[in-house]
Amino acid sequence: MQKIFTILVLAASVTLVSCGAGSTEANSGAAAEQKAKLAELKKQKDGIDAEIAKLEAEIAKLDPASAKPDNAKLVALSAVAPETFTHYIDLQGKIESENISFVTPRGGGGQVKAVYIKRGDVVKKGQLILKLDDALQRQSVIAAEQGLETLKTQLSFAKTLYQKQKNLWEQNIGTEVQLITAKNNVETLENQLKSAEEQVKLSREQLAFTSVYSDVSGVAEDVNIRVGEIFAGPGQIKIVNTSNLKVTTEVPENYIDRVNNGTRLKITLPDINKTVEAKVSVSGKIINPISRSFFIEARMPNDKDFRPNQIAMVQIQDYTINNAITVPVNTLQNDEKGKYVMVAVKENGKMIAKKKIVVVGEFYGDKLEVKSGLQAGDMVITEGYQSLYDGQVITTSVK
């Protein structure tokens, strides 16, 4: 009997387990089915929402007055006001000196015996800066002077003899040949004396050439010579006059009709944060075949902070107009009808966006010249203009 009871209990347990497993499988299937239905409904809702938004936008375009104030787009406005508009050609140039002297020997050069300046020294015009070896030149001067003195003595003696011979000839003493010979001796010595004087002068000049002087006043920029070296020519000593400076730059040839002598410039030296105004003083007449540009120069005012070879930002004023209408350049948009900007106008108590077709001129920096299409007082939409449509309700305040 006990065995039969045990068997019945086991059978009941197996039956309960089987029923439990079947119930779990049924629940899982129902949940999956419900999830699928939910996903489908959400998909349908998204499609309906998108269709509603599309229809609302189309209705707002067709009937702006029906747009809800709560849907007004936030924008920023700026009133148009006449102002002076100037366009510049932006280029890079450099400062140069009008007077740069490369010191060269007046003679044939020579060995350096003394250097009287160093780099950075202030030099005055006519100042002695080098002394070259002058031993041979001094000997030449001494020899020439001695030869000159000898000829002077000989000429004096020859003149005395000639005068005596002439006196004798007047007394009918002596021969004509003696008189002519004495006269020729005097003339020959006079010619030799002139040559000797020229030789002395030349020898003294050669001696003077051993003293090297500065031809200009300025600052010794380069002194690349030392005692004992041979001073031969340019590149060893350079003197720069910093009182007469100019700015130079290369201008692309496509601006050739805009830049001439007298054109106004704005010159900025970024390293020292200084800006000056000037005018073109020299405009090149030849186009560089490699860079396709021409050079211009402008004189700089005197300033202790200006130095040759400084980088300069050169702004060439090639266009200016008074009472111009301008807008921020980024507000300009294009469509199939042309260029336009969005402005704000009041209609039926609401502020709406209106498209204004414009004709533009030059632009510089963030300013764009508007030749027609806008007038003073127009309220240009400067922020939030992207994706605006004609007639859209707008606002300038956050609700």
Which pLDDT value is given to residue 24? 53
Domain extent, residue 121, equals 101-219
210 & 105 share domain: yes
Q: What is the rounded CA–CA span in Å between residue 206 and residue 261?
A: 46
The residue out of 191, 219, 247 marking a domain boundary is 219
Answer yes or no: is 269 within a domain.
Answer: no
Indicate if 213 and 106 belong to the same structural domain.
yes
* Residue 386 CB-density burial (10 A; 0-12 exposed, 13-18 middle, 19+ buried): exposed
Task: Return the closest-CA partner of residue 91 out of 243, 250, 235, 229.
Answer: 250
37 domain-assigned:
no
Is 16 within a domain? no
Q: Of 42, 49, 205, whose CA–CA distance to 137 is shortest?
A: 205
- Residues of the chain under the 50 pLDDT cut: 1-22, 399
Q: What is the CATH number of the domain that holds 327?
A: 2.40.420.20
> What local confidence, expressed as pLDDT, does residue 7 receive?
38
Per DSSP, 66 falls in state: G
Q: Provide the pLDDT for residue 67.
A: 52
The total number of structural domains that make up the chain:
2
User: Is 314 within a domain?
Assistant: no
Look up residue 167 and give its two tokens: 């006196």
Contacts of 293 (CB under 8 A, 6+ apart): 250, 251, 252, 253, 287
Residue 88 forms part of a structural domain: no
The whole-number pLDDT of residue 68 equals: 52
On whether both 113 and 71 belong to a single domain, the answer is: no
Same domain, 73 and 136: no
The pLDDT value given to residue 26: 59
Task: Tell me if the pTM is above 0.75.
Answer: no
pLDDT digits 0-9 by tens, 29-63:
777 888 788 888 877 877 786 677 567 666 666 66
* Residue 313 belongs to some domain of the structure: no
- The reported pLDDT for the residue numbered 60 is 60
Q: Which of 216, 265, 283, 262 is nearest to 243 (CA)?
A: 216
Residue-averaged pLDDT of the chain: 86
